[in-house]
């Protein structure tokens, strides 16, 4: 019986990577995470009674009768972001950038599990700022959030350096600008949530600007790399 062997690839032709399809799907998961998260907090903030998106943090949406929606959003977006971190590791062959994105993803999962304390008068009848934590879950929420948010500007700088080394100067500049924009908005939102009289009414706005800057960066990066990855 004659054995038929498949033809050999032409000299110089790239070999098909069996992992490319997986990498592409992981990056596509990451591209979904940001829009999902942003749309979720915009819709909830618009319809939730007594909730002021300009004043109150996103995490406060996890409080109250329908708080499970935001908690689930945290967890789902976190899992999608962890998939993105794996996809970035495979696509970029680097460690620190994808690892810091993974820290952000883990933070989101943790924020969905551990609920924050009331802040800035939401839910109605609660003080603007508690003098101490109501329990361990709220304390863990803040601790996890501190690590997650701290990872963002560092990740932007890491990506800026990487893109500068590969002479992708547009992306290097965009990464650096994202670090500055995020850092500025994040400092302002923390001052507002500490009940600074001139900023407290806009704490939610500053936080939304900060996280949206980061989500846009991650989404564009995921889409760019997914398009470059052959299926």
Q: How far apart are CA 189 and CA 27, in angstroms?
A: 30
Domain ranges of the chain: 20-124+135-228
Q: Which of 220, 222, 224 is nearest to 212 (CA)?
A: 220
pLDDT at position 230 is 65
Q: How far apart are CA 155 and CA 178, in angstroms?
A: 10
pTM (two decimals): 0.89
Q: How far apart are CA 76 and CA 33, in angstroms?
A: 8
Per-residue pLDDT tens over the stretch 82-135: 999 999 999 998 899 999 999 999 999 999 999 999 999 999 999 999 989 999
List, as one string, the DSSP characters of 31-59. Answer: HHHHHHHHHHHHHHHHHSTT--TTTS-GG
Q: How far apart are CA 140 and CA 133, in angstroms?
A: 10
Per-residue pLDDT tens over the stretch 45-85: 999 999 999 999 999 999 998 999 999 999 999 999 999 99
pLDDT at position 93 is 86
Residue 76: phi and psi, rounded to 5, are: -65, -45
């Amino acid at each position: 019986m004659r054995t038929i062997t498949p033809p050999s690839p032409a000299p110089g032709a790239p070999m098909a990577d069996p992992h490319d399809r997986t990498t592409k799907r992981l990056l596509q998961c990451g591209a979904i995470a940001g829009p999902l998260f942003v749309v979720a907090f915009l819709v909830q903030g618009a319809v939730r009674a007594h909730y002021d998106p300009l004043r109150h943090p996103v995490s406060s949406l996890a409080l109250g009768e329908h708080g499970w929606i935001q908690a689930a959003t945290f967890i789902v977006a976190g899992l999608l972001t962890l998939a993105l971190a794996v996809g970035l590791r495979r696509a970029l062959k680097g460690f620190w950038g994808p690892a810091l994105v993974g820290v952000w993803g883990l933070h989101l999962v943790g924020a969905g599990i551990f609920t924050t304390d009331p802040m800035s008068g939401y839910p109605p009848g609660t003080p603007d700022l508690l003098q101490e934590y109501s329990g361990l879950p709220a304390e863990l929420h803040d601790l996890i959030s501190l690590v997650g948010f701290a990872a963002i500007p560092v990740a932007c700088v890491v990506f800026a350096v990487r893109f500068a080394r590969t002479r992708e100067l547009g992306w290097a500049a965009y990464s650096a600008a994202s670090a500055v924009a995020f850092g500025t908005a994040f400092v302002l939102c923390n001052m507002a949530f500490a009940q600074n009289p001139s900023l407290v009414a806009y704490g939610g706005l500053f936080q939304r600007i900060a996280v949206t800057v980061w989500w846009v960066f991650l989404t564009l990066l995921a889409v760019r790399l997914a398009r470059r990855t052959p299926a």
